Amino acid sequence: MEFDQLKYFVAIAETLSFTKAAELVPISQPALSYQVKRLEEELGVRLFDRQGRKIALTADGELFLPLAQNLLSRANEAVKVVRNQSGVEVGEVSMGGAPSVATYLVPNLLASFHQVFPRVRVYLIEGGDAHLQQRVFAGSLDFAIVSNPGSPQTLDVMPLGSEDLLVVTSRAHRLADQPTVDLTGLWTEDFVLPEASYHLTAQIIEACRRAGFEPNLAYQTGSLETLKNLVRAGLGVSIMPSIAVSGAGKADLATIRVKGGLTRELYLIRGKDRDLTRAAQVLLTHVRASVVEHMHYPPRGERPMPVAPEPPRPAPAVSTSADQA
């Protein structure tokens, strides 16, 4: 049994898709299928039921999954301990982000971090809050930024502040020139929202219900950029985080504030009582300060944080004759 085979098995089991697992690992799909077949032959059991394009874990697969996850987690911890001894300058960090955060906030944060620590490799996983909570708890992510923090009993939760949610319409819409709108004024509109797995969608539907109506969901999509294009085409209105419709992202769209205000909070979550490598600690500090800077309102009970500082620069290496050899 090989270490990589365990990684491949867990990736397939967590995504229930050979295609998605091949992208995650990464490896070609034929090679992935071959390695899983070898693992099944070595174990003498079938790990997956294959029904056309759909797959599911067998009873043996269900039994083997937590064992494989535990082995991978312990191996990853061992690697982190060893790499931690070499300092911040080199290492790997796995972080997650809700789609709007991963798309519109994180790229600039990573760019500034990479300028200082070019040898730290960062793996960015985009997903729904529940998926990211599970991965942080399992240890496959060092930390994540979410809008729903999950259970504080199993995760360390750090509030990052909140931002406005804005009504978004096409430029030709009847409300496009309005500075504000009451949610009750949207009860006849078709809505274009993210798919149900987004915590944002549940928050928007709940806000509409508090306003006295059930939103008519005309379209739902897993891509915020697709969502904006649907709105541009006049197929409905939406409610989106302000970070998704600022700058160039607002092109050909109108944004309108909700009377009385409508906001969403962001949180940074990490595994409770789990040590981070120095690289992960430095990236977490930089991400936390930078996200707080972008929020419209500070974390509850806290004063606004100052502008995020540059990530601390590593001390220059001292050259030795061995280094120069």
3-state SS record for 27-70: CCHHHHHHHHHHHHHHHCCCCEEEECCEEEECHHHHHHHHHHHH
* Residue 216, pLDDT above cutoff 90: yes
Q: How far apart are CA 259 and CA 125, in angstroms?
A: 35
- Amino acid identity, position 202: A
Task: Name the β-bridge partners of 258.
Answer: 181
Using pLDDT thresholds of 50, 70 and 90, give the confidence band for residue 5.
confident
Report pLDDT for 182.
95
> Pairing between strand 253-258 and 180-181?
parallel
* Residue 83, pLDDT above cutoff 60: no
Q: How far apart are CA 201 and CA 133, in angstroms?
A: 17
Cα-Cα-Cα-Cα dihedral sign, residues 291, 295, 300, 301: positive
Q: How far apart are CA 237 and CA 247, in angstroms?
A: 19
> Mean per-residue pLDDT for 22-42?
82
User: What are the structure tokens assigned to 5, written together?
Assistant: 């085979």
User: Exposure of 25 by Cβ count < 10 A (0-12 exposed, 13-18 middle, 19+ buried)?
Assistant: middle
Work out the mean pLDDT of the chain and round it to a whole number.
84
> Mean per-residue pLDDT for 161-186?
95
The answer to whether 283 and 88 have CB atoms below 8 angstroms apart is no
Q: How many CA atoms lie within 13 A of 219 on its CB side?
A: 18
The answer to whether 190 and 169 have CB atoms below 8 angstroms apart is no
Strands (E), 48-137: 48-51, 54-57, 91-97, 120-126
Task: Name the β-bridge partners of 163.
Answer: 264
Q: How far apart are CA 257 and CA 239, in angstroms?
A: 10
Instruction: Give the containing element (helix H, strand E) for 225.
Output: helix 224-232
44-58, 84-98, 214-228, 259-273: the lowest-pLDDT one: 84-98
User: Exposure of 46 by Cβ count < 10 A (0-12 exposed, 13-18 middle, 19+ buried)?
Assistant: middle
Question: 275-298, pLDDT tens digit by residue?
Answer: 888 889 989 999 998 898 888 888
- Amino acid identity, position 92: E
Using pLDDT thresholds of 50, 70 and 90, give the confidence band for residue 29.
confident
> Mean per-residue pLDDT for 141-145?
94
- Secondary structure of residue 82 in the 3-state scheme: helix
Q: How far apart are CA 133 and CA 107, in angstroms?
A: 21
Using pLDDT thresholds of 50, 70 and 90, give the confidence band for residue 87.
low
Residue where the block lists tokens 């969403």: 264
Q: How far apart are CA 147 and CA 128, in angstroms?
A: 9
Residue where the block lists tokens 């809505």: 191
Instruction: Check residues 75 and 171 and name the one with the higher pLDDT.
Output: 171
Q: How far is CA 323 from the centre of its chain?
A: 40
Highest mean pLDDT among 31-35, 46-50, 199-203: 199-203
* Residue 72, pLDDT above cutoff 90: no
